[in-house]
Every structure is written in C-alpha cells, then in structure tokens.
Amino acid sequence: MCGHVTVRDLFKDQLAGCGGNSIPVEHVQRVLGLVPVPYIEILSSRCWLAGGRVLRWLTEAGGDGGTPPRAGDYDLFFPSLEALNDTAGVLLSKGFTLTAYQSFPRTIRELNEGGFRHEEKKSLLLDDAGRLRRITPDLCREMRLSLVELRSPGEEIFQLICTIFPDPYSTIMGFDFTICQLAIDDRRLTFGPRTPEDLVDRRIKVHRPIWPGSLLKRLRKFQARGFRAPAGTTLYIYTVTYLCKAYARTRLTGEMLFSK
C-alpha cells in the first residue's frame, strides 16, 4: 500500500490551497509507482471510471509496478447514452457478456432492501438474436433502468451507469463519501475538493447521503480497509436513513428518491 507521505506528495499543491481538481494520469503513475489504469484503453472524454475502483487503484496497488487488486466493480459513467452504447459495443466485442441490470425502486419493500432491485438479464434488453439492444431514453423509462452489468472473460464486473453526467467532476460531486470522489479517464484523475485531505488522513466523511440505505454497510467496508470515521458519523447515518425511509413512505416515485 502506498504510504501516507507518498499520497501527501501527490496532492501537495491541493493541500497547500493551490492547484486544481485534477492531475494528469501520467503524473499520478509516476509519483505513486503504479501500473497503468486498468482498462484505460476504453476510457476517454466519453467514458470515465469513478468511485471505489479508482480508490483501490490509487491507494492499494502497492507501488513499483505492483498489480492492482482485482476486488471491486468497475463503474463507468458517460456524457450521453450514445457513448454508453458505443462502450458496451466495444466491451461485448472483447468477449464481455450481459449478466444483469438494476432498476430504480417502485415499492417500499424494494427501497428497504437496499435502494435498487437487482435482476438477472431480461429479454427486453436483448434483441431476437440475443444481442444487447441500444439503450435509449424510452428504454430507460420503461425499465426504470439504473445500470447495465457486463462481465469480462476474467469474471470482472463492469457496471455501465445509465444516469448521464456532463463530465467526471459533476459525476463525483454526487457521491456519498469524500474518499470515493475520484474519477479517471485516459488523461486525468479528477477528485472532489475535500478528497485529497481525507485520503491523506484516511478519514471517511459523508459528502452527500444520496442513498442512505447502503451508507452504513459502505462505512463498515471502508473501516475494514483502514479508514476512520469522525465521531458521530454512525449516528448521523442512522438518523438520515430513518428520516429518508420515513419520507419515502409518504412519497415514492419511479425516479431516484434523492436526486442531484
């Protein structure tokens, strides 16, 4: 694992109150001694990787050319459904297969079970030849589509997120924990305003409880990986989860309950 001093050196400009909200990928690799970003060949201005998988690459790859850990899904985000479809086509041409999709909740039970209902692939996503249909706004509405899940020949999970964002920074500003506010494309690593400080201190802070039902589980996961939460974080998560579920019992639509 990269030492704190190394990570601090990477973000020295941001910690000093200068620098922007992104760093060239080549600089990140050079400072931390990392292997190339996994699957960087599919990343571009039209497709970026964000969230926990970037965190693992950044902090757990073990410098000097170490191999990145295989744990963790690849969450891919896009500026348009056209870009999503193009990326899906590339992955499928490499031997990836459609395994599942997720839809937004429509009942209180689905909400209480974790926010999204996870289902196996359905014929509605496949054409008569068994190929993945193009994802369109109409299909997203009809299926309440949140993401499409593909599996690589090496059994890695790729989640193609159907919610559209204009750029990586807009994407991560909707994430729950500051340490997860990380996105990477083929050129730059983008991060949130508090992410450098919290990564250096290995501190978990709630940025935006978009889906409170899963916050506590995710908090425990990061604590098991050596991150620490400020006093009162668990109580805050319990309180937000209770209040949000209480609100959901009075008003629940087919859209994401806590939108941007």
Given CA atoms 140, 142, 89, 53 in this order, what sign does their dihedral have?
A: positive
Question: Would the pLDDT of 59 be above 80?
Answer: yes
pLDDT the model gives residue 226: 85
Q: What are the tens digits of pLDDT across the range 183-240?
A: 999 999 999 999 999 999 898 888 776 655 677 778 788 888 888 877 777 766 667 6
pLDDT the model gives residue 259: 39
Report the pLDDT averaged over residues 238-260: 53
pLDDT the model gives residue 65: 41
Angle ∠(205,188,39) on CA atoms, nearest 5: 95
Q: Provide the edge-to-edge strand list for the sheet that holds 188-191.
A: 22-24, 188-191, 182-184, 48-50, 74-77, 157-161, 145-151, 97-103, 117-120
Residues 6+ apart with CB under 8 A from 105: 111, 115, 116, 117, 252, 257
Does the predicted model carry a pTM greater than 0.75?
Answer: yes
